[in-house]
Structure 1
Amino acid sequence: MADSITSRIEMTLDSTLESVSKVEQEAEHFAERAGFDPDEVPHIAMAVRECAINAVMHGNAYSETKKFHVSFAMEEDLMKIVVSDSGQGVDLESLPDPLAPENILRGSGRGIFLVKAFMDDVHFRKLDPGTEVTLIKRRTAENASH
């Protein structure tokens, strides 16, 4: 089991795809430094990327006046990532099922499905304005790289 690591990074970014890429890279580096298994790191980075894309595209609608926020925290063997936007929020009940036959061939609509598959816990909270998504990934003896 890795030594206990406690660290935190906070980012406030413009609503651009360049910012999404920055967040994805930071997620990858943060997970590596935190000692996650190399096979898990890309999954964590992809989950964060999907949340950042949703914040930029759906939440803030690429608005130049709206920012989105991301925080990474590692405490003991728990990594917590929070992504929030300042848009109109998302209605999770209205999202189409990506596994429904009519949606299988669609090129989009699988982001939240992937996030839930890759992370241990995913929580959504409606803000005023915006949406906050909290991602939790536990580092266990089986998936720790040192």
Structure 2
Amino acid sequence: MQAEKVQQVIGKAREFLGSPYLWGGNSKEGIDCSGLMLQAFQAIGHDVPRVAGDQQKIGKYVEIDELVAGDLIFFTNQPGNTQITHVGMVTSTDYDNDIVNFIHASSSPKGVMEANALADWWQELYVGATRPEVFV
């Protein structure tokens, strides 16, 4: 069942909550955004590319107002840029209250955390989103 796979992947990603950010990292001692997605998908035995930009290619494009848990959401590092530099995974949505929560490895002191993709900060950096083929 797809919903069960989605919850397994999200659950694995949440095991990393609070882990510090480390560029190129792939463990609880330090992990980056694409490494977090790699670890999460390994929970269901599904391999994904190591780099955020390549991870965008593993699914079908989804509009921001159609996101569901398990979708990958991509960002850039500066407004107006379209080069993908960051990835997270949608964990829950509540469009009535303008909430699309996603988990990601932040370079802030919080490390792996959840945030709202509809917050102004993230909207300025939003590039797009995909639904991984393993969930379709």
> Do they superpose with TM above 0.5?
no
When normalised by structure 2's length, the TM-score is 0.34
When normalised by structure 1's length, the TM-score is 0.33
